[in-house]
A and B are shown apart, each in its own frame.
Chain A
Amino acid sequence: MRTPWPRTVCGPLMLALVAVAACGDDSDQGATSGALDGEITVFAASSLTDAFTEAGEAFHRAQPDTTVTFSFAASGALATQIIEGAPADVFASADESSMKKLTDAGEVAGPPEVFARTELQIIVGPGNPKGITGLPDLARDDVIVVLCDESVPCGVYARAALGRAAVTVSPASLEDKVRGVVSKVTLGEADAGIVYATDVLAAGSAAAGVEIPDAQNVIATYPISVTKSSENPRVADAFVEFIVSDAGRAILAVYGFVAA
């Protein structure tokens, strides 16, 4: 992953480039005005890491003069970073409340659009060595359970699902992001965790998933929006359009997301 250029450097640099271009031959301008160019930074929820990385590559193939740089982290942390002035052009959140934080702060350019959904699954080691069949098994004494902290979306959802199943667990750890739960299980330190179905898929052969019945399950919705502070809103808009397009949805589907 590339480190985004600081905006303070990028901004003047772009201005300089535009100025140079403006001084050039007028006949150039007609040819370039239709194509998109420039760099955007997309802040996306940690659970979107694989899907968005591929979507970014596909977008770059469609718009070769653009560069998309990603910053993947917990949705809430990203929202805070944007409010504190981090240079993001697009924000893709794993929950509505982190996006709401941003809309409340007046930091989004338009109404957010829900582009994907995923449901929860129990993540277990390959071959499910502890024979876990559902949420009630997570209360067993011989099962080391790791959950997300309630300050991140996956923690809120997991708690809701456990509540619906009327199961009380005593987790060994409350992770700061969903990938933390995944790695604790794939490294073999924890026996089970509650994550998004997409994360189980992303873990491949390093983990297995146990489905949670619909009555207990929670659907996570992913909203996306262009930020108000975007310095390249045209490319940012195009990226969002690409994500919600059929091509974008096809990529998301590969990673287990359900189209919104």
Chain B
Amino acid sequence: MTRHGRRRSRPETRPRAPVAVVVAGVIGAALFALPLFGLIWRVPWSELGAVLGDESSRTALRLSLWCSLWAGAISVLAGVPLAWLLARVRFRGRAATRALCTLPMVLPPVVGGVALFFAFGRRGVVGQYLDRWFDVRLPFTTWGVVMAQAFVAMPFLILTVEAALRQVDPQIEDAARSLGASPWYVFRRVTLPTIRPALIAGAVLAWARALGEFGATITFAGSFPGRTQTLPLAVYLALETDPRAALVLSLVLVTVSFAVLIALRDHWFSGASRLVDR
């Protein structure tokens, strides 16, 4: 509550926004608001329960949650060390590595899906050995979905965490080290707690991105109900046969993503202010 009061009082102390900036800003906001409004406008509210109670919707929802949580977890487990290396260790090709690790953010996901095939498919560079030696096949499996989602989502975590790490004063870590703490202890008890807000923000952002993943998933993992057909794929297929169901499922995705981003905003701000305060 106090926070709200503080925010409301802020504009009085600041200069008034120029009209042109407000107009341009409103146009920008409308670009995001209107499609959302259009979606909500068309949602058949009376069928909400029927669609969500439908077994096929629930299967897609369950699968989406399961896969995106795993993709989020993998993003944290592999992404945090990667972000730490990028932020703390000077090595040759660091800039190229950073570009490589964030490439999926700008790459068309379908291209990512095809590239995953060439790496982990039955004839891929790695995939052929997975198949031959371990009898492991990723395409058309739920783990294939997790992999495609992690591929697309992890960069969001890496970027967020690396940016936070760069803002942390290295003297704090140095101090811990000079007091005899091992590098692992410093990483676990000093570095990680310091960047906790950014870590949470990055993890949630990566999870949300994984939840909405479509292109890489359908390309690499295919689409089969209960196995690889996640919510976005179900929405796309439902658009052809049952647009009303597609709208309801879209609403679920929008609601979850929106809630996540609103929750995230506070984390992000508190995180940033904490870092600035130092």
Contacts and interface: CB of A to CB of B under 8 A. Distances in A.
B223 interface: yes
B80 interface: no
A172 B218 CA distance: 12
Interface residues on A, range: 20 to 34
B237 A173 contact: no
A245 to B, nearest CB: 31
B230 to A, nearest CB: 13
A173 B228 CA distance: 8
B140 A173 contact: yes
Interface stretch (A13-21, A143-151, A201-209): A143-151
Interface string B239-265: 111010000000000000000000000
Given A77-B239, A173-B228, A176-B236, A189 B223 contact: no
Contact of A174 (B121, B224, B241, B243): B224
Interface in B221-240: 221-225, 228-229, 233, 236-240
Contacts of B218: 175-176, 180
A144 B131 CA distance: 14
A176 B221 CA distance: 13
Contact of B223 (A176, A183, A188, A190): A176
A38 interface: no
A108 interface: no
A45 B121 CA distance: 28
Contacts of B240: 74, 76-77, 80, 151-152
Contacts of A171: 224
B123 A188 contact: yes
B267 interface: no
B109 interface: no
Contacts of A74: 240
Interface residues of B, number: 24
Given A76-B241, A151-B240, A189-B140, A173 B224 contact: yes
Given A175-B222, A176-B233, A176-B236, A189 B241 contact: no
Contact of A189 (B122, B225, B233, B238): B122
A78 to B, nearest CB: 10
A187 interface: yes
B142 to A, nearest CB: 12
Nearest to A79: B240
Question: Among B121, B140, B218, B240, which residue has the most Cβ atoms of chain A within 10 A?
Answer: B240
B223 A187 contact: no
Contacts of A175: 218, 222-223
Contacts of B229: 174
5 contacts: A146-B140, A174-B222, A174-B223, A180-B222, A190-B140
Given A176-B233, A187-B117, 4 more contacts: A77-B239, A80-B243, A173-B221, A175-B218
Q: Can you list the 9 inter-chain pairs with the closest CB atoms, starting with the nearest?
A: A173-B222, A76-B240, A172-B140, A151-B240, A151-B241, A188-B123, A189-B139, A151-B237, A173-B140
